[in-house]
Every structure is written in C-alpha cells, then in structure tokens.
Chains A and B, each alone.
Chain A
Amino acid sequence: MRKFLVAVLAAVSLAGCTSAPESSSGPAVTLRVLAGSELRDMAPLLAEAAEETGVTVEMTYLGTLEGAETVASGAADGRYDAVWFSSTRYLQTIPEAKKRLANTTRIMGSPVVLGVREPAARRLGWDAKAPTWSEIAAAAERGEFTYGMTDPAASNTGFSALVAVAAALDGSGRALDAAAVDRIAPRLAGFFSGQRLTAGSSDWLSGSFVRRATGEDPGGPLDGLVNYESTLRSLNRDRQLPEPLTIVYPADGVISADYPFTLLAGASDEVRDGYGRLVDHLRAESTQNAIVAETERRAVVPNVGLPDGAPSGLVELPFPDTRTAIDALLVAYFDRLRTPARTVYVLDVSGSMAGERLAALKTALTGLTGVDTTLSGRYCRFRSREEVILLPFASVAGEPTTFTVSAESPQSSRDAIRTAIDGLRAEGETAVYDSLVKAYGLFADAGERFPSIVLMTDGESNAGRALGDFTSFLATAPHPVRVFPILFGEAAEQEMRQVASSTGGELWDARDGDLGRAFCQIRGYQ
C-alpha cells in the first residue's frame, strides 16, 4: 500500500510548484441556507455571486426564533449547509445550537434605530438633537410618542431594540444580567406604553406603518417605528411615505445586526470550499460597495464608505450573552412590560369541521396554552394579563367566552382556556361574516390593549352576511381591528385575502396542515 502510494504521489508531483493565480471561481456547488426573510433583498447580489464563483445559494426563509429552533433541534442537520440571519446572538446562547455552528463570517451591518415622521421629530426636538433612550422612553410615557416595533421573540429588530433600551436605561455600562432586568422594569414599561403596533417581521411592520401613514390602513399614522437603519433609509429612498422619516440614532447607543453567514458543522469539503469562495466574494470591496448602494446596509471591510450621510462612530451597547439575561428580558417584556393584547379567536365549528379537522384545530390552539415546550412554543403561549376571547361559530355566531390570563397564576388561566377549547363541538352551517361583525363588537372596552381577530375557517360562508356586507360594515366600524384569517380545508382564499387586506391584517395558509404553526406565527402580530 505505502509503495503504491509513493508511486502515485511521485507521478502527480509535477503539480507541486505551479501556483495558479487566485480566483474566486471554482466548481459549481449549491449551498442550502436557512435565512432571515430580510435577506430577500440580497437576491440580485447573490445571483451575481453565483455567476462569479459558481456557488449557488438556495435560501429558505424563516423567523429568527424558528430558525434557532430548527438548528438547535437538529432538524437542520443534513438539510441545510449554512444559516444566515441578521444576528446569531440568540442562537449562540443555546448550547445545542452553538455546537452545530462552524465557521462564521460577517457580511454586512445595520444598526437598529428609530424612524420618526418629520412633524413628530420636529415637535419632539429630535431632528435637532438625538435623544437618549431615556428621553425616548419619557416621551412615550407622556403619550407624546407612539411607535411600532416587532415582536422581540419573533424578529431581530424588536429583540435588538428591547436589549438596547434596557441596557441604556440600566446605565451600568455592563452587559445586562437577570437582576438588572428586574431593576429597570418600571422604566421600561414607560417606553413600551408608546408602542401601538407589533408584527412578526420587520418588513411587515414597515409595510403596515406605511399603510397607516398613507391612510390605506385604518388607525391613523404612528409617530415612528423601530427598524434597521437600512430599512428606514430604503423607505426614504423609495419615497414610500408622504414625508421622509427622520432617522433617530439614540445618543447613548445602538445594537447592530451583523449578518453572520455561518456554516453548519458537518458540511462536506466541497461545501466548505464553496462557502469560502462565496464569503470571499461577498466581502470583496466591489461587492461591499454594491451592498451599501443597493441595500443601504453598512460594509464590514475597510475602505468602503458608509451609506450616504449615515453617521459614523455609533456607540454599540453591550449585548448580554447569557440565556438567563435574555430570557429574563423576553419574559419581562411579554408578561409585564408590553401593552397586553385582546384577541378574539373566531373559530369555524361548522359540520364540515367534524372529525379530524376539529381535532387538528384543538391541537393547534392547545399549543398556545403552555403545553408546547419547544423554543417557539414557549414564546407562543398566552401571556400574563392577556385577554383571549373564544368565539366559535356555525350557522350563527356562538357565545363569546372571555379569559384574562392571570398575572399571579398564568398557567391555571391557560388550563381553563384549554378546557374550553376541548369542549368545542362541530355542527351546522358557516356564518363567517356575521361572526366577524360580532367579534368587532367585542372591542368597545378594550382600552389601549392591542386588538386583533384570528379567523379560522375551512369553507365558504353560506349563512348570514356576505363579504360585501362586511366591507360596508368596516367603513362604520367603531374600532379598527386587524383580522388574520387562516385558510384551512376548502376556505375561500380570495375572500379571506380581501378580509385581511381591508382590515390591515394578513392571510395565513394552513391548508398544508400546519395549523399550529399558523396560530403560533400570528402571535407575533397580537
């Protein structure tokens, strides 16, 4: 064996001293990448990269937390080669996920900041002098500043803002620990009293903000929104708003996304090689210039300018790297700090739901009652102070049952909701719009609570009002409420899409069977 080897080696050794000029091209390879949805805007640059390097990227988009869960649970093993999210900080705190990560390369950056409508910025004096997070929190508490921010468990911008405002209000200058979270909770509550809009994704949030600013969605304009500098700059560049946003960089610091492109452990040599070529290409000066120009994000290599007029020298706040601190912050946000939600679940229990479908609905809803212990399941559960109203319907709208999740013993409240879910029976016709109108009547005393309706139906409305009657009703509805329809069975897709768009909500498709995932994802919008 040895001798044979030596012979072969000698025969091929003429390759030894030729050194080919370095080139980023190489054998064609495809990287299967689990990615954050905000990276969709990289598609043109990735297409160019594929031509240059032979490395094709196949992106599958998931939310931050869902992505983390996919990696941590091992579901990504063998199915994906890499992950690419705006941040892997959360992922790094989960040991089962961390051990599955290999090489990581930062591709670009963008701080999470505030976009404030010009009149509001002038009124608050923030156009002239950048406020601190404390000043922003004080304005929100006084009712002088309203804003939208994503769900911090579902999206990185909300998560980053939560960490930034907490770190700034803490003021110790150290990375937060769990005890600090308790200390600053009262002042954080002031900041979150100004939040009027939440969403499960940053893109959806800015879309909703724009539609409210232009009057397309009900509810009136908000003063500002929390998002990436790049997203806010793009909104201004594309003139999507009646007046441009003033981009406010809190004076005491920001948290930035750094988009680490991270290889998963166990990648083949071929994939590793492709990964190396791709990230080299993405970090090349010319690509970095294109990233800045096209996506308004910041470069991560020297010699590439900032996006036009963007400030340099931003103070980066310390980010906690322990699970305990991060969990304490998220739990405080959901259970104590945020404005609680009132959600009406309008549930189709017509005859067609009988059997498997009803069972699937029960399982899916039960997942929100604290029995799902997966990562995303833990954050989907009904939270302290939240109001959950079950409104089953068939030939007519049924009687609503209201549950307020107790702050002292939330699980017993969740157990009560589960019992009610378990008691649902299927029989009769499908009065979708009568039931929606009835649901709208359940928000009169909702106060500041975040109102929303989740509509789950498996067929066409065949009793009572029609879609036209409902849209006419909307014009006179006393409170704007977003409706999130979930398609199931033979649901009427076109009609449901119209219900979502006319109320500023969003359509979810669970016809592939994953009803639980739909209910869980909609939690980010409640």
Chain B
Amino acid sequence: MASSRAGWTGTRIVALAAGVVLIIVAAVVVTRHGGSAADGCVSAVPVRGVIGSEKEPFFDDDRVTARLACLGYEVDVDSRGSREMLDSLSQPGNGYAFAFPSSTPTAQKIQQTLEIDERLPLFSTPMAVATFRPIVAVLTRAGVIRKASDGTDVLDIAALLDLARRGVTWDRLEGNVEYPARKTVLLSTTDPQDSNSAIMYLSIASQVANGGAIVTTSEQARQVLPDLCRLIFDQGDKPETSQVLFDNYVVDGMGRTPLALVYEAQYDTTAPPPQLGADNVLVYPRPTVYSRHTLIPVTEEGRGVGQALRDDPDLVRLAEEHGFRPEKPSGQPVTKRPRPVDVVESPSFEVLETMLSALAPTAQNAARCAQ
C-alpha cells in the first residue's frame, strides 16, 4: 500500500470508532421501529463517497439508494466541485470510500494524488448546449449554428469564438429581431474554478483556439489564453454549479441565459424530466467532449459500489433514466439522441490547471485578459 495512505490508518480507526457509536444508535432506532431485511437483499454497510454535483439527483433517488442498500451498501454522498473534491480527499480521516468525479482529467489527478491505480469508468454524458428556438434561428442566420452531416443542428465553436474575439453583441447580429440584447454572444458556463462542466468547455475551446489540436504544452496553453479570456472571463460572474446554471436556463429563460453549456443528462433525464417548454431545445457544440463519470475506489466497499453501479441491471437502468449513457448500456436507453459526431478528448489535468489558474478572477488575470 502506498505510503501516503498508510498515514491515514490511525485517524481512520478513530473515524470508524466514531461511526460505531452512530451505528449502535441507529441500530437501537431501527430495532424499535421493527425494521427487517427485504427479500433477496444482503446486509448493508455504510459507505461514504464524494461525487460531482451533477450526480446528486441520481444518488438522491430513493430507488437508487434502496437498490444499493439491497446490494449491501448504505451509500451517503457529499457533492463537491472538482478542485474541492481533491481537497476533501486529502483531508485526513475524511472517511470516503470512493470518489466519483465527472471527468477523466479529474479522475487521473485523484488517482495520482491518492496513489490508486484502479478506476471504473461507469457512465458518460456529452456536453451539450441548452438553448431556445428563437436563438437557433438567430444563430443559424449568423452561420454559428449549422447542420451536421446527420442533419442535426450543431453550434460551431469556431464561429462562436470568432464573434467573441470581435466582441459582437446579440443586437448586432444581422436581422436579429428575436433577441436584440446588448450582451456579447457567449455560451454561458459555470465557474471553471470549481465546476467540471466549465472545465469541459475549456477542453473544447482550447482545442478550437489551438487550430483543432489538443493543447499539450504550457506554451500552447499560453497562446490560446486570449481566446479563453473572451469566452470565459468576459462572461463575468458565473453560476457555481451546473445545476444552478441549468435552473437559471429553465426558470429565467433566454433573457438571462440564451445559451447554456450543460450535460446532456441534465436535459434528457426522466427522473423527473426538467420542466421544459416548446421553445427549449438542445444542440451539440461542434466539437463536443464527453464528461466521463469515473469512480475511484478508495476502499473495498467503495469498489463494491462501483461494480454495483456498473454491473447491476437495475442501477444501469436507473442511470439511464437520469439521462446518463452507461458504459454497458441496457437494451433500451432513455436517451434517443444519436451520439454526437465531432468529439474531442480533454487535455491533461496539468494543462487544464494552467489554464484555470490563468483564468481565476484575480487583478493580475483581469489586467491580462482586458481587451
């Protein structure tokens, strides 16, 4: 076992001992209420995990917790942003049995930090753009939304970047009577400082700004920075989490959020479906990137949870109801959309970190990003 984890053992025993007290209390309560095991279920142990916020509705779903419990895991999760997740996992005595981040780079970073070799890719969801039919009409005329080879609408990130570089506002797009707002045409994202979905945007945008090649060196990262300033910094204040961004899109509509970068799963979930109107529509950015929800087991129980989520048909089915695309899909996926055609991979965590640091809203960065 790696040396960095050996130091935890002592504190973990303390944490476990504290847990025992809680369990005894719980046992008393349960016994009083006369609870009993359901048919075909095994006895469950408590397992704590740290997850990305976009999977919170999934783990809050009673059917998911019940099924996991039946398979032997009483799962309790804390949701954290990607950077915060690393911090939480580095706290001694944190008691987490697994981490379940939303992207490969974050998963790799966690593996590296905790010195864990294993990872279980469980489900994925492509990044998509939640927008409105009038906006699609405006951007189609402007050549920013085009037809992909399969006939679906796609948002051309290169064309969007071109508008952003020139600081074009919605009201200056030709013939735009649908949305004549004096705001720069930008795709709204979360704050990349602590949210995976915005990091996914950096993956897409940096590649487009780098002439279509994945950014691999800090020199390339430096060169694409002015473009990232336009796309990220010019938005100003951004929502903290992808759920807040999506809620703003659904509730406040196009006045606030004409274009939102969201997870396809947020839009397509049927558990429960979001309250969308006739004007709401989802298009893929071109290119897009997959958010790959990858579980890192810290303990044996954590691994068990990962395997259950991967292999149990009921849980796979529930993940699909929540809009995710499982690595081992059931025969009847909920998402009927064809897979996006133009997909890129994320840069490494280190390259992303370089970009993130350069985009943090500090005075120095503000001066560098100023046009």
Contact = CB atoms under 8 A, between A and B. Distances in A.
Contact of B183 (A18, A22, A253): A253
A175 B74 contact: no
Counting chain B CB atoms within 10 Å of each CB, the highest count among A22, A256, A324 belongs to A324
A324 B362 CA distance: 8
A18 B36 contact: yes
Interface in A209-251: none
Given A5-B20, A104-B240, A252-B182, A13 B274 contact: no
Interface stretch (B213-221, B229-237, B286-294, B335-343): B229-237
A92 B182 CA distance: 25
A320 B236 contact: yes
Nearest to B256: A316
Given A15-B74, A299-B251, A173 B36 contact: no
Contact of A173 (B23, B69, B183, B361): B183
Interface in A142-178: 168, 171-178
Contacts, number: 157
A354 B42 CA distance: 79
B363 A323 contact: yes
B41 A16 contact: yes
B253 interface: yes
Interface string A80-119: 0000000001001100000000011010010000000000
A439 B59 CA distance: 67
Contact of A12 (B16, B27, B257, B363): B27
B346 to A, nearest CB: 24
Contact of B237 (A9, A89, A252): A89
B42 to A, nearest CB: 7
Contacts of B69: 16-17, 19
B87 to A, nearest CB: 10
Interface stretch (A307-315, A344-352, A458-466): A307-315
A462 B44 CA distance: 79
A313 B255 contact: yes
Counting chain B CB atoms within 10 Å of each CB, the highest count among A17, A174, A176, A312 belongs to A17
A174 B229 CA distance: 11
A315 B20 contact: no
Contacts of B170: 173
B184 A325 contact: no
A17 B362 CA distance: 50
Contact of A253 (B24, B31, B182, B247): B182
B252 to A, nearest CB: 7
Contact of B43 (A10, A177, A321): A10
A314 B256 contact: yes
A322 B363 contact: yes
Interface residues of A, number: 55
Contacts of A174: 167, 184, 234, 236, 371
A15 to B, nearest CB: 4
B361 A316 contact: no
A337 to B, nearest CB: 21
Contacts of B65: 19
Nearest to A16: B44
Contacts of A323: 361-363
Contacts of B182: 168, 171, 173, 252-253
A416 B170 CA distance: 52
A467 interface: no
Interface string B220-255: 000000000000011111101000100100111111
Interface string B15-39: 0100010011011001100011110
Contact of A302 (B45, B181, B275): B275
Interface string B274-317: 11000000000000000000000000000000000000000000
Interface string B69-81: 1101010000100
Given A104-B240, A323-B363, A175 B234 contact: yes
A265 to B, nearest CB: 10
A475 interface: no
Contacts of B270: none
Interface in A9-68: 9-19, 21-22
B351 to A, nearest CB: 23
A299 B169 CA distance: 29
Name the 7 nearest CB pairs between A and B, nearest first: A175-B236, A13-B43, A16-B44, A302-B275, A12-B27, A173-B169, A17-B41
19 contacts: A5-B16, A8-B20, A8-B23, A12-B30, A13-B37, A13-B44, A14-B43, A17-B44, A17-B66, A93-B361, A106-B247, A172-B167, A301-B247, A314-B252, A316-B252, A318-B237, A321-B237, A322-B365, A325-B366
Given A15-B44, A18-B36, A301-B247, 19 more contacts: A14-B30, A14-B37, A16-B42, A16-B43, A16-B69, A16-B72, A17-B70, A18-B35, A92-B237, A103-B79, A106-B247, A173-B184, A175-B234, A179-B370, A300-B247, A301-B251, A315-B181, A317-B183, A321-B361
